[in-house]
Structures are given as C-alpha cells and as structure tokens.
C-alpha cells in the first residue's frame, strides 16, 4: 500500500508536465495553426486543451503504470562476479520484522550453481544495529537455491551484502531492498525486457491514429522553435541535475521525503544476535520494603515566648544560628520590675522585725509565767502554815476543855469545902485585869476583822468584773476563730485545686502538651496558695490562743472571786472570834469582880466557893468558846490559802496562755516573713523572666520579632528546633501501614545521591488514619550530628515491612508477568532462564515461578527456580523459547565496523510507533557493585530520552570504569566521545561497552554522542 501511494504521488507531480508537453507539441498545435494567429488561435488552443484534458491524463497514467509495472515486477537481481544472483523473499512482500531470503545463484551460462558457500548480511545503510553475517543453507532437491534468515527491524531501505565462494572462485556484491517491496516474479521473464518499448510503440501508434482521426498534423517548425528547444533543454537539465544531486550528495542511508513518510520504527532484535544481561539466582535473605517520600521535622520544636511584658532590648540571633541549652536568647527592659523587687524586699524586712517583736513578747510572757509559778509556791507555803495553825487551835480547844472539866471538878470540891483566903482576893483581881486586857485585845481584833471583811468584799467585786470582761473577750475571740477557720477552709480548698492543677501540669509538661513557661506560671499560683494556707493557719492559731487567754482570764477571775469570798468568810470568822473573846473577857471580868467581892467579904461559905467555882467554870467555858472560834479562824485561813493557791494557779495558766499567744504571734510573724519572701521571690523571678533562655540545644529556625518591640506573654519572638537527633516522617498508605511495626528498619536518604543513606528504626506508627488521604504517619528518629538533615527537608524513607522465609531471590527486572486470558485464570509470573547450548552459546526458555515479597530491587522466588541458575534481566523484550543469546562481560565487545552515523540527521520522517513504545520501560542500572578496591564505577543507559542518568559523581584521582549500554535505535548516540581523554567508542545495540579513565581534576567532565546532539555530565569531586 505504501508503494502504491508513493507511485500515485509521483504521478500527481508529473501529470501537469506531461499534459503540457503532449498538448503543446502533439494535438493542440495542429488545431491552433489552422485557426490562424492572434486571439482566435489562443482561444482555440484553450478549447482544445479543455476537451483533451481527461485523455491526456489517461495517457500519462498509462505511461507511469507501464514504467511502475516494470519496476515492481522485476525481482532484485545482480551480477556477483562470475555469478548471477536473483533474490526473492518469503513472504513475497518484504515485511518489517523477520523474513527468509531465497537466493538463486547461476553461472554465466545460466546453470544453477551447487556446492557453493553463500553468506549474507542484511543491513540498513549508515546504521549499525548489531547485525551478524548469516550463512545460507542450500534448499534440498532444488539446485542453485539458497535460504538465509534476515531481519528488517524498521521500515526503509536495506542493502544485502552477498559473498559467494564456489567453483568459479570468491566474489562479493550487493542488492538493494526496501520494506514493502514485492519480490514476486523474476528478472529472467522475457516479457519484462520488452514491456516498456512495446508500451511506448503502442502509445505512439495511438497518438498518430488519434491525430489522423481528428485531422491534425505535426507542426515540426513549432517543435523546432528555439523557445521550445530551450524549454525542453531546461527540463532535461533540471531532471539530470536533480538525479545527480540525489545520487551523489545524499548522505548514505538517508531517504527521500516519500520514503520517509512510509517509514516505521519497529525494532525486533536481529535473530541470533540478542545481547542480554544475566543474573544468578542467589541465596540471600530478602527484606520487603516500601518507599515513601516525607520530610524531616525537629526532634523538639520550641516557640520562644516572653513571660512578662516589656520592651525587647537585645536579641542578636537569626535563622540558622546554633544555640545551647540555657543560653541567653533575648533580654527585656527591667526598669519597671526593679522597683517592685525593692518594695518586696522592704516588706520582707518589716516582716522580719515583726518576728523579732513577737519573740520579745514571748520571752516576757515566759518570765510572767515563771513569776506566777513562784507566787504559786509561796501560796502553797501559806496553806501549810494555816493548816498547822488550825491543828494548834484544835489542840488548845482540847486543853481548854480539860481545864473546864477540872474547874467543874473544883466547883464540886468547893461546894464540899467552905472557906476562902486573902490570896484568893488578889488572884481574883489579877484575873480581872487579865480579863480586861483580853477585852481590849478582842475589841481591836474585831475592828481589824471588820476592815478585812470590807477589803474582801472589794476584791470580790473586782474579781467579778474581771470575769465579766474576760468572758466578753472570749466571745470576741471565738468569733475571730470562726472567721479564721472559714478563711483557712477557703485557703485549703484553693490549695487543693492548685495541687491537682500542678500535678496535671507536670504530666502535660512532660508530654510536651504545654510549655515550660505555662507550667512555671501555674507553679507560682500553687506556691501563693500554699503561703495563703500557712497564713490562715497562723491566724487560726493566733485567735485560738486569744480564746485560750480569755478562758485563762476567766478562770483567774473565778479563782480571785473564790479567794475574795474566802477572805470575806475568814474576816467574818475572825470578827465572830473577836466577839467571842470579848464576851469571854467580859465574863472573866465579871468572875474576877465576883471573886474580889467574895474575897472582900472574907466570910463566905461553901456558897461563895461554889459561886467562885461557877465563875471559873464560866471562864473556862468562855475559853473553850474562844478556842473554838480560833479553830474557825484557822479553818478560814486554810480556805483563804487554798483560794489564793487556785488564784495563783490561774495566774500561772494565764501567763502560760499569754506565752502561747506570743508564740503564735511568732508563727504568724514568720508566716508573714515567708509571704514576704514569696513576694520577693516572685518579683525576682519576674525580673529573671526578662532574660529569655533556650530550653534545648538546636538551631534558630525563624526570627519573628525585632528589638525595640513591646512584647507580652503569648507573643512568640523566636522559633528554635532541636535537630540532633531529628525526626523523619512520611505519610504511609493504609495498605502498607498495616505491615509497619515499631522497631522496623528504615533507610533514610536525601536528594544528595552521593551521600550514604542513614539507617534507623520506626519510632512510632499513627494509631489513626487520615480519612481524607487514607494515610497514616510513620516516624523514625535519626541521629544527626553533622546536621545533614534540616527541618522541612525532603527525604525518602524505605521502610521494611517483612522478611522472606525462603532466601531464594532474583533481580526484579528478571520477573515478567502474564495477564489472565479469562476470568477463570489468574495472572502469573515467569522468568527467562539461560542454559548452556552448543559451544559457548546460551539458549533461553521461559520458566513459570511463584513470587513472594519484593524490595523493589529483588523478588523472592518461592518455587520454579534453583540456586545457581541464570536468568535474563535485560534484553528480554523480543526473546522466544529456544533463542540463542549472548551475555557480554564488562569488557568492550568486538563489533563490525559501522558506517558514518551522520546520516541520521536526515532521518526526519521517522515515526515513533508501537515498536518504540516497547522500549520505554527499559531502566538504566545503577553503579556497579563488587568492584575492586580503589576503583569507582558507574553504569549509564542510552535510551530514547538520552543518557540516563544525565549526571553521575566521581572522585578525582581514582580510576573510573563507566559502562554504557545502548537500549534503543531511536537515538543518535551510536558512539560516545570523551573529548578530554580522546576516547571515542562505538555503542552496539544491547551490548555493554566499558570506558576506562582516571579523572584528574575536580569540576564538570562532559561527554557526548558522535553527532554532539546528546550530552552528559560527570561531576568530579
């Protein structure tokens, strides 16, 4: 179809020229001449041209058809030395792909040549594609016919090089072919040799017959006119010049525009010349990994905030500056905070003075308590004396009662005995005088007792008033206790809240949920609550001590009341005793006067003695009454002493209560000191907050505020991040996230392909999946002492998700996949296994395998292969079972010389068809492994995109071995040139070529293809 289209295109281009020639010189001139000259001749010419236009076109197409028939029917033939060669193909139309060449070899007499060795090499001019010379096989039972395989990888023109070695010697020759050409028929047909002359004769006869039928005659003068001859000469010159230019100046292998339009790019590898790369089935553990891109995040990231309001006066840090833990980052103005610190320190000094004052009161209270204790001891001694006096009075009472009994006995005797004497008169007078003295003494004692009674009544009234005042003070103190306890309960409730809050904040600050500044603010509130509780407790203790002091005063007043009452009772008893003594004295005076009168009478009888005895009895009875009154007075003194002891005990209790109150005052004053110290500490801390320090080792990632700005708490001024270690994070798909575990190995790399990847372990796996992206966050912690990774940097994480149970594995490039042909089938996998064939050749066959896990580079093989087998990893695209392959080593393979590839510049009509698409999946191999020590290596693939990778990195002064593998024909890079080293090497298809050199200086080292259209770069460090 392409050849027919080309033929019609040529016909369309030549038809107007032939129409002009035929009409100009054959038919039209006769009619135009008969019409005369001028306008009539021109009109007649145009009319005749319009009538004969279809006919002329038919003649032109017939001429072209006859010429094309000769070209298409003639099978390619050539004379190769003494041998004649006629070539046909199977199939008859040359395809794009594989075909069979059928060569008919004859001698000069036309006899078939047998027993000759015929070799063919089918190639495209100017393009070497790894073709190999083939030896033709004689066709049995058909002498002179030889069969040879050939491959036509792409559409276009080809040349068949033929070598014949037979009985007539050796000879070489060539035949020209093109895809789409039909080789049916043969050049030996006699019809083909005279077909063209016959056609021309028939055409001339038809023209003469037609002219006669129409009455036309040939105008020879017009034909031989100089203008006509000049036009014909110009046409012939143009034809021959164009033919010469095409044949002589066209680059080898280039095509005409019509040929290029019909050209296709389908490139099956030539049969028997497939170059492949092999790998050995290995026994090594395989770890399945998944690869995701992510980013580096600071291990700890801190936004630096001020904790007080102030002007920022100093902050010299910028993004990228390194900081240490505790290092000063910024400083605020202290002009407003220093006066507050001074005021708090003054309050602290006043509180300390209050403590000293309370301590002095406490010492005074202790001295008063000791004095009260001494007075209590004296009162106890007075009680002992009063008890002793009471005992003596009781003894005197017993004596007086005995004297009274003796007097009564004497009265009885006096009644029995009569008489008296003068001595009795004197004795009676003496007794009278004693009795009068006793009366005066008793009168004086009565006056003293009455005065003591009045004093006791006054003390009793004062004691009762003191008790009333003490009870009033106690009621006030009890009210203060109630208020103080309420304040204490409120402070305790506040303290309980802040205790729980500070415990919660400690947990949050450990987890990093809140900042250290917030925790310190909460801690200051907690300390303030503790100080309030202490002050409230001191206040409760103080007012309770006041209550106890009031109660002690009440008890002292009650003791004083009892003591005053006892004094009053004692005074009453003393007055009663004085009255009894006065009566006794009066009775003694009366008895003495009676005895005086009796003695003066001198003559009395027993009646007078009896009266005297009665008088003595009366006196004795008065003495008994006086003794009893003395006992009453002694008992009253004992009661008074006991009352005074109780009063002294109350005084001791009051003094001790006062000491306790003073001691409580010391506690309260000390609480005030602590509160003042807390105020000083808070003010000092607030002053310290004007210096902002780093809480971690890291780098400044952002500067948010400039000095001179008024800042306040909650307003960030810097951002600092800890980058050693550093976190790397990636969002892993839901399906892969289920296989990632904490502790799994992670390989982390950055964009610097020359740096060695860092190995770490998974530190955390997100327990939840983002419903929008269906991914979860996986994080690893990487040691970063050299600051290789920075926050926000793009990283690649290769995460291990499993490990093979069977250590058998092959490269991932070796595994191919078959799609399911029906719903009942399942997709399967296979590899091409290379096995030893004849000689050093290898044959391949597909082997079905069961695959397991893969890490992207190697695949686990669970069944189908054995250790040591070799599989194809590269060049398997056009393999068939039983094909012969070669596996080049890392040395330059010998290839046939190739023609100049500069002709590729003219191949502008090539179309990238499906055959080219099959080569887009080829991947370049990475740097060679297991190289010798002190040798660096790299591998570069030549694809339809150019050199891949475009840039590699080498080390200066170290020998380098770079392997180039051309994997496509759709490129001009059929050779590679290193201008600096003078290296120029051919790159055969699918054959690795090694270039060895030693880079001497650092910088960029460039290389290019032979046409200098594709370039690559090597960075020498």
Q: What is the mean pLDDT of residues 598-604?
A: 58
What is the reported pLDDT for 163? 92
DSSP string, 606-655: HHHHHHHHHHHHHHHHHHHHHHHHHHHHHHHHHHHHHHHHHHHHHHHHHH
Query: How many other C-beta atoms lie within 10 A of the C-beta of residue 468?
Result: 12
Q: For the segment 837-870, what is each residue's pLDDT rounded down to a tens digit?
A: 765 678 899 999 998 887 777 888 888 998 889 9
Is 748 in contact with 793 (CB distance < 8 Å)? no
Q: For 500-548, what is each residue's pLDDT tens digit?
A: 888 888 888 887 777 777 788 888 888 888 888 888 888 888 888 878 8
Other Cβ atoms closer than 10 A to 929: 7
Give the per-residue pLDDT at 218.
Answer: 66
Joined tokens for residue 971: 């490129």
Please tell me whether residues 935 and 869 are part of one structural domain: no
- Asked if residue 534 and residue 413 are part of one domain, the reply reads yes
Segment (H or E) for 1003: strand 1003-1009
* CATH label of the domain that carries residue 859: 2.40.420
Model confidence at 206: pLDDT above 90: no
- Collapse the DSSP code of 551 into the 3-class scheme (helix H, G, I; strand E, B; otherwise coil) and give the result: helix
The answer to whether residue 331 scores a pLDDT higher than 70 is yes
Distance CA 1014, CA 126 (A): 19
State mean pLDDT over 468-473: 78
CA dist 289 → 543, 800, 804 (Å): 77, 4, 11
Per-residue pLDDT at 902: 34
- pLDDT tens for 867-896 read 889 999 888 877 888 888 887 653 323 333
Would you place residue 1004 in the very low, low, confident or very high pLDDT band (cuts 50, 70, 90)?
confident
Task: For residues 723 and 300, give the distance between their C-alpha atoms in angstroms, rounded to a whole number.
Answer: 8
Q: Which residue has the higher pLDDT, 1006 or 29?
A: 1006
Q: With a cut of 60, say whether residue 733 has pLDDT above it.
A: yes
* Cα distances (angstroms) measured from residue 961 to each of 854, 892, 1001, 1014: 30, 12, 17, 21
**Would you state the pLDDT for residue 429?**
66
* Rounded Cα distance, 897 and 267, in Å: 21
- The arithmetic mean of pLDDT across residues 294-318, rounded, is 92
Cα→Cα distances 724→298, 320, 382, 422, 509, Å: 8, 14, 90, 139, 21
Q: Quick one: pLDDT at residue 917?
A: 35
Taking alpha carbons only, the member of 81, 92, 88, 124 closest to residue 3 is 92
Q: Is residue 238 domain-resident?
A: no
Residues 6+ apart with CB under 8 A from 283: 807, 808, 867
Q: Is residue 911 a part of any domain in this protein?
A: no
- Asked which of 650, 681, 712 is the last residue of a domain, the reply is 681
Where residue 129 falls among pLDDT bands split at 50, 70, 90?
low
Lowest mean pLDDT among 139-143, 265-269, 672-676: 265-269
Res 687 pLDDT > 80? yes
Query: Residue 915 has what pLDDT?
Result: 35
Cα–Cα dist 321/407, whole Å = 128
Give the DSSP letter of residue 127: B
Q: Is the model's pLDDT at 334 over the cut of 80?
A: yes
**Tens of pLDDT along 27-69?**
444 444 444 445 555 555 555 555 554 555 555 555 544 444 4
**Final residue before a domain boundary, out of 651, 681, 711:** 681
d(CA 831, CA 836): 16
Same domain, 745 and 713: yes
* Alpha carbons 614 and 609: distance in angstroms, whole number: 8
Task: Give the pLDDT band of residue 720 (cuts 50, 70, 90).
Answer: very high
* Angstrom distances, CA of residue 916 to CA of 268, 718, 920, 968, 986: 10, 57, 7, 8, 22
Quick check: 76 pLDDT over 90?
A: no
Within 10 angstroms of residue 338's Cβ, the number of other Cβ atoms is: 12
Is residue 122 classed as helix, strand or coil in its secondary structure?
strand
Beta strands across the sheet bearing 117-123:
134-135, 117-123, 157-166, 169-178
Q: Is 1012 left (phi over 0), alpha (psi -120 to 50) or beta?
A: left
| Torsional class of 115: left (φ above 0), alpha (ψ -120 to 50), beta (otherwise) | left
Same domain, 924 and 1013: yes
pLDDT reported for residue 59: 53
- The whole-number pLDDT of residue 22 equals 45
- CA 352, 355, 359, 361 dihedral sign is positive
Query: Would you call the peptide bond into 725 cis, given omega within 30 degrees of 0 as the criterion?
Result: yes
The SS3 call for residue 884 is strand
Helix axes 2-22, 39-73, angle to 10 degrees: 150
Structure-token pair, residue 752: 């610097």
pLDDT at 833: 94
In the sheet with 137-138, reading across from the earlier edge strand, the strands are 77-80, 83-90, 97-106, 145-152, 137-138
Residue 432's CB is within 10 A of a number of other CB atoms, namely: 19
pLDDT of 336 > 80? The answer is yes
Residue 825 lies in a domain: yes
**CATH number for the domain that contains residue 264:** 2.60.40.10
Q: What is the pLDDT of residue 893?
A: 31
Q: Which of 42-51, 146-155, 321-330 shows the lowest mean pLDDT across its residues?
A: 42-51
Of 526, 529, 505, the closest CA to residue 517 belongs to 505
Same structural domain for residues 761 and 650?
no
571 and 553 within one domain: yes
**Is 730 found in the same domain as 708?**
yes
More confident: 354 or 702? 702
Same domain, 405 and 478: yes
Collapse the DSSP code of 701 into the 3-class scheme (helix H, G, I; strand E, B; otherwise coil) and give the result.
strand
* Residue 683 pLDDT: 83
Mean pLDDT computed over 739-749: 92
Q: What confidence category does residue 761 fall into, taking pLDDT thresholds of 50, 70 and 90?
A: very high
Instruction: Out of 747, 777, 803, pick the residue that ends a domain.
Output: 803
Return the biggest CA–CA distance within the chain.
245
The first and second tokens of residue 748, run together, are 């982390």
Query: How many domains are contained in the chain?
Result: 6
127 with 253: CB under 8 angstroms?
yes
What does the pLDDT read at residue 601?
A: 63
**Alpha carbon distance 948, 951 (integer Å):** 8
Work out the number of other CB atoms within 10 angstroms of the CB of residue 370.
14
Q: Are 919 and 931 in contact (CB under 8 A)?
A: no
* Cα(32)–Cα(24) distance, integer angstroms: 10
Better-scored residue on pLDDT, 155 or 911 = 155
Per the CB < 8 A criterion, the answer to whether 708 and 330 are in contact is: no
**Per-position b or e across 202-231, b if 16+ CB within 10 A of its CB:** eeeeebeeeeeeeebeebeebeeeeebeee
**Integer Cα distance of 600 and 422 in angstroms:** 8
Q: Does the residue 161 lie in any domain?
A: yes
| pLDDT score recorded for residue 845 | 92
Q: Please report, rounded to a whole number, the percentage of residues in the chain having pLDDT higher than 90.
A: 13
Residue 424 confidence (pLDDT) above 50: yes
Q: Which H or E run contains 58?
A: helix 39-73
CATH at residue 971: 2.60.40.420
Q: How far apart are CA 472 and CA 448, in angstroms?
A: 37
pTM over 0.85: no
3-state DSSP helix/strand/coil percent for the chain, to nearest 5? 45, 25, 30
Token pair of 741, please? Answer: 């575990």
Q: What is the pLDDT of residue 82?
A: 87
The answer, yes or no, to whether residue 250 has pLDDT greater than 70, is: no
Closest CA relative to residue 473, chosen from 540, 558, 553: 553
- Vertex 697: Cα angle to 695 and 703 (nearest 5): 75
929-959 pLDDT, tens digit each: 333 335 788 888 888 778 888 778 888 888 8
Does the pLDDT at position 1009 exceed 70? yes
Tally Cβ neighbours within 10 Å of residue 923.
12
Residue 821's pLDDT is: 64
pLDDT category, 358, cuts 50, 70, 90?
confident
* Beta bridge partners of residue 293, listed in sequence order: 796
Task: Collapse the DSSP code of 881 into the 3-class scheme (helix H, G, I; strand E, B; otherwise coil) and give the result.
Answer: coil
Q: Tell whether 444 and 484 lie within a shared domain.
A: yes
Q: Is 141 helix (H, G, I), strand (E, B) or coil?
A: coil
CB 912 within 8 A of CB 1008: no
Q: DSSP H helical segments within 714-755, as ranges? A: 734-737
Interatomic CA distance for residues 272 and 100, integer angstroms: 14
* Interstrand relation of 936-943 and 960-966 (parallel, antiparallel or unpaired): parallel
- Please check whether residues 997 and 955 belong to one and the same domain: yes
Q: What is the mean pLDDT of residues 578-599?
A: 72
If you count them, how many residues does the chain have?
Answer: 1021
* Residues pairing with 702 in the sheet: 719
* pLDDT of 913 strictly over 80: no
Which tens digit of pLDDT belongs to each residue from 813-832? Answer: 899 988 766 677 788 899 99
User: Of 22-26, 462-466, 586-590, which gets the smallest average pLDDT?
Assistant: 22-26
Contact call for residues 870 and 279 (beta carbons, < 8 A): yes
Confidence of residue 780 (pLDDT cuts 50, 70, 90): very high
**Inter-residue contact 173 to 193 (CB < 8 Å):** no
Q: Domain range spanning residue 799?
A: 287-330+696-803
Average pLDDT, the chain: 76
Instruction: Kindly report, residue by residue over 367-393, the tens digit of the pLDDT.
Output: 877 787 877 777 777 777 778 777 777
The two beta strands, 946-948 and 936-943, are antiparallel
Query: Is residue 539 included in any domain, yes or no?
Result: yes
Q: Is residue 819 situated within a structural domain? A: yes
The string of pLDDT tens digits covering residues 952-987 is: 888 888 888 888 888 887 788 888 898 888 888 888
Per the listing, tokens 């029995």 go with 416
User: What does the block give as tokens for 339?
Assistant: 């006066």
pLDDT, residue 5, reads: 38
Is there a domain that residue 306 lies in? yes
Q: Say whether both 476 and 600 belong to one domain.
A: yes
Residue 412 within any structural domain of the chain: yes
Are residues 822 and 844 located together in one domain of the fold? yes
> What's the DSSP call for residue 182?
B
């Amino acid at each position: 179809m392409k050849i027919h289209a080309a033929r019609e295109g040529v016909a369309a281009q030549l038809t107007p020229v032939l129409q002009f020639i035929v009409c100009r010189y054959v038919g039209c001139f006769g009619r135009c001449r008969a019409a005369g000259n001028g306008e009539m001749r021109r009109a007649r010419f145009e009319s005749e041209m319009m009538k004969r236009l279809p006919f002329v076109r038919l003649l032109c197409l017939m001429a072209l058809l006859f010429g094309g028939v000769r070209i298409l029917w003639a099978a390619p033939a050539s004379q190769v030395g003494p041998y004649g060669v006629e070539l046909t193909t199977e199939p008859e139309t040359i395809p794009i792909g594989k075909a069979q060449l059928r060569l008919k070899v004859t001698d000069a007499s036309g006899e078939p040549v047998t027993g000759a060795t015929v070799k063919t090499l089918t190639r495209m001019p100017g393009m070497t594609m790894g073709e190999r010379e083939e030896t033709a096989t004689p066709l049995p039972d058909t002498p002179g016919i030889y069969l040879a395989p050939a491959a036509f990888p792409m559409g276009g023109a080809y040349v068949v090089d033929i070598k014949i070695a037979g009985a007539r010697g050796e000879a070489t020759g060539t035949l020209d072919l093109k895809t789409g050409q039909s080789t049916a028929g043969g050049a030996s047909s006699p019809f083909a040799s005279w077909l063209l002359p016959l056609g021309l004769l028939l055409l001339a006869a038809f023209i003469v017959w037609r002219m006669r039928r129409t009455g036309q005659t040939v105008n020879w003068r017009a034909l031989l006119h100089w203008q006509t001859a000049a036009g014909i000469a110009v046409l012939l010159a143009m034809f021959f010049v164009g033919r010469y230019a095409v044949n002589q100046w066209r680059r080898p292998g280039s095509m005409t525009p019509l040929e290029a339009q019909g050209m296709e790019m389908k490139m099956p590898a030539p049969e028997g010349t497939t170059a492949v790369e092999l790998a050995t089935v290995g026994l090594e553990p395989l770890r399945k990994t998944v690869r995701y891109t992510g980013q580096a995040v600071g291990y700890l990231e801190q936004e630096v905030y001020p904790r007080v309001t102030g002007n920022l006066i100093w902050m010299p840090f910028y993004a990228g500056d390194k900081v240490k833990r505790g290092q000063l980052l910024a400083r605020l103005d202290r002009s407003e905070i220093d006066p507050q610190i001074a005021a708090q320190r003054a309050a602290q000094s006043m509180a300390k003075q209050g403590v000293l004052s309370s301590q002095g009161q406490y010492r005074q209270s202790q001295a008063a308590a000791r004095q009260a204790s001494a007075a209590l001891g004296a009162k106890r001694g007075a009680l002992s004396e009063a008890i002793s006096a009471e005992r003596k009075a009781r003894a005197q009472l017993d004596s007086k009662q005995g004297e009274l009994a003796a007097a009564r006995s004497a009265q009885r005797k006096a009644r029995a005995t009569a008489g008296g004497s003068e001595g009795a008169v004197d004795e009676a007078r003496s007794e009278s005088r004693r009795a009068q003295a006793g009366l005066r003494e008793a009168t004086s004692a009565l006056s003293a007792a009455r005065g003591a009674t009045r004093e006791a009544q006054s003390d009793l009234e004062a004691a009762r008033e003191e008790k009333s005042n003490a009870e009033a003070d106690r009621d006030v103190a009890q009210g203060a206790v109630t208020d103080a306890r309420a304040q204490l309960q409120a402070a305790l409730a506040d303290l309980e809240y802040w205790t729980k809050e500070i415990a919660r904040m400690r947990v949050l600050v450990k987890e990093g949920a809140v900042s250290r500044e917030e925790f310190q603010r909460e801690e200051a509130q907690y300390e303030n609550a503790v100080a309030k509780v202490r002050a409230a407790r001191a206040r409760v203790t103080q007012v309770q001590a006041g209550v106890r002091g009031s109660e002690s005063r009440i008890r002292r007043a009650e003791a004083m009341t009892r003591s005053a009452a006892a004094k009053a009772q004692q005074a009453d008893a003393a007055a009663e005793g004085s009255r009894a003594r006065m009566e006794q004295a009066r009775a003694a005076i009366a008895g003495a006067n009676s005895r005086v009168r009796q003695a003066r009478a001198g003559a009395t009888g027993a009646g007078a003695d009896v009266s005297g005895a009665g008088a003595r009895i009366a006196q004795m009875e008065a003495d008994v009454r006086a003794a009893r009154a003395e006992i009453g007075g002694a008992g009253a003194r004992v009661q008074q002493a006991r009352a005074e002891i109780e009063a002294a005990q109350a005084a001791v209790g009051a003094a001790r209560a006062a000491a306790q109150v003073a001691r409580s005052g010391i506690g309260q004053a000390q609480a005030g000191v602590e509160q003042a110290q807390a105020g000083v500490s808070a003010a000092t801390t607030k002053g310290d907050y004007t210096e902002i320090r780093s809480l971690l080792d890291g780098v400044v990632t952002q500067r948010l505020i400039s000095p001179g700005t008024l800042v306040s708490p909650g307003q960030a001024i810097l951002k600092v991040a800890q980058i050693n270690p550093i976190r790397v994070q990636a969002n892993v798909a839901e399906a892969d996230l289920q296989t990632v575990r904490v502790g799994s190995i992670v390989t982390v790399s950055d964009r610097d392909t020359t740096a060695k990847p860092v190995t770490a372990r998974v530190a955390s796996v997100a327990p939840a999946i983002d419903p929008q992206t269906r991914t979860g966050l996986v994080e690893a912690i990487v040691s970063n002492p050299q600051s290789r990774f920075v926050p926000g940097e793009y990283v690649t994480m290769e995460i291990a998700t499993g490990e093979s149970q069977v250590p058998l594995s092959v490269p991932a490039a070796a595994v191919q996949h078959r799609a399911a042909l029906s719903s009942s089938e399942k997709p399967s996998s296979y590899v091409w296994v290379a096995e030893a064939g004849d000689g050093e050749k290898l044959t391949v066959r597909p082997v079905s395998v069961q695959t397991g896990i893969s890490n992207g580079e190697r695949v686990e093989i669970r069944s189908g292969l054995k250790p040591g087998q070799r599989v194809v990893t590269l060049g398997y695209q056009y393999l068939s079972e039983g094909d012969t392959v070669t596996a080049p080593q890392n040395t330059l393979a010998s290839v046939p010389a190739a023609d100049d590839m500069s002709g590729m510049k003219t191949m502008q009509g090539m179309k990238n068809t499906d055959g080219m698409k099959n080569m887009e999946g080829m991947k370049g191999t990475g740097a060679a492994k297991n190289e010798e020590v002190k040798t660096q290596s790299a591998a570069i693939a030549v694809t339809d995109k150019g050199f891949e990778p475009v840039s590699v990195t080498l080390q200066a002064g170290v020998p380098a071995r770079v392997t180039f593998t051309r994997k496509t024909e759709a490129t001009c890079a059929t050779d590679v040139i290193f201008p600096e080293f003078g290296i120029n090497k051919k790159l055969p298809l699918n054959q690795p070529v090694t270039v060895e050199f030693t880079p001497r200086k650092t910088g960029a080292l460039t290389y290019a293809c032979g046409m200098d259209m594709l370039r690559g770069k090597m960075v020498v460090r």
